[in-house]
Chain A
Amino acid sequence: MNCEHLQENLYDYLDDILSSAEKAAAEKHLLSCSICREAVQRELFHAETISNQLRQAVEPVALGENAQRQMARAVQRSIAKSPERSPFSFWSRLAIPLAAAALILISASWLAHRVISGRTSNRSTVNSVAASAQVVPIHFSYSVPEYTFQKEGALVIDALTYERRSVDGALIARK
């Protein structure tokens, strides 16, 4: 093990989670390298001194018997007010907004369907009225624009009737 490798694995060495072979290699390197040895000892020094200071800083802090009892009563009151959350609490919290959104969507679709079908029914009413009236034959003609087709047999859509037609000799007006 070299210095770079040891520095990379310094915390693993300190946490004693290196494999036995790696640990042995690290210790062998530490015997011969004062820089790495110092790095390890610096970390150990930090661990010891900071740990001691933190421990001493909060040593006087404690939950006395009275405080424990008060806390227990407060905890009991709180959990009585709102009992255990079910594992589906996340979904149950989402359920109401999701249901509302779905309801709005369904209502909007239904309304849109009603509006569209209303228009269609109006049109069919006009048609039925026309059918019941006296039929007067009228003749009108329109001029078919000149088309130019590449070949016979191709399918085209008539611009006026929107019918699909196969190109035949009659349609080919001019090339």
Chain B
Amino acid sequence: MGMDQEEGLVMALKNKDSASIEALIETHGTRLLRSATLLCGNETNAQDLVQDTFVEAFRSVHRFRGQSSLYTWLHSILLNLTRHHRRHANRLVCDNELAAQEGSGSEEQVSTLDLDCASAELTRALDQLSESHREVLVLRFYEHMKISEMAQHLKVSTGTVKSRLHYAIREMQKLFPPEMNLFGAGGTKENT
């Protein structure tokens, strides 16, 4: 995203008119929704969380100092809301609608189903992780944050992030079916 567009969105955040709200939701809504779905494990709840994120952002616009990108700031609000939500809600199940929406055709269907199966397994495994382990996996592998950025985002030390990441991957290795070979020790590209 260009600097001009980012500045425009920050201005939109301060304006609070309907066009500004729509522009912000259009730019960051889907990306936040996907991240929220991974964090809370359910698309319906994720949509509520994203909506609450935008409401909170418009209310707390004075707290945005421009030290991070607007998306990162919005994501930190989302993360706090998700934590709050998960602590007060029952364990959520993976939304099976995702699998039903996939394509048609026999050959294509097989590969899609395989892919969906792996994705469904992944989201199911994610749901079984502790909150802190799920967060580091999503931030590292979905949001592609560096360790230092994750530490800042989660308000913990870089050592804690590394440790959580290590144990999160180890947990996933236990939870994820070994035949999918996503986390196995034999899954490296080079076996010397």
Q: Which residues of A contact B (CB under 8 A)?
A: 11-12, 15, 17, 34, 37-38, 41-42, 44-47, 49-51, 53-63, 67-69, 71-76, 78-79, 82-87
Contacts and interface: CB of A to CB of B under 8 A. Distances in A.
Contact of B51 (A58, A61, A74): A74
Interface string B24-55: 01100110011101100001001100110011
A132 B54 CA distance: 82
B37 A58 contact: yes
Contacts of B55: 75, 78-79
Contacts of A86: 62
Interface residues of B, number: 58
B60 interface: yes
A11 B140 CA distance: 11
Contacts of B30: 61-63
Interface in B123-162: 123, 137-138, 140-142, 144, 146-148, 158, 162
Is chain B's interface secondary structure helix, strand, loop, or mixed overall?
A: helix
Interface of B: 16, 18, 21-22, 25-26, 29-30, 33-35, 37-38, 43, 46-47, 50-51, 54-55, 58-63, 98, 101-102, 115, 118-120, 122-123, 137-138, 140-142, 144, 146-148, 158, 162, 165, 169, 172, 182-183, 185, 187-192
B119 A68 contact: no
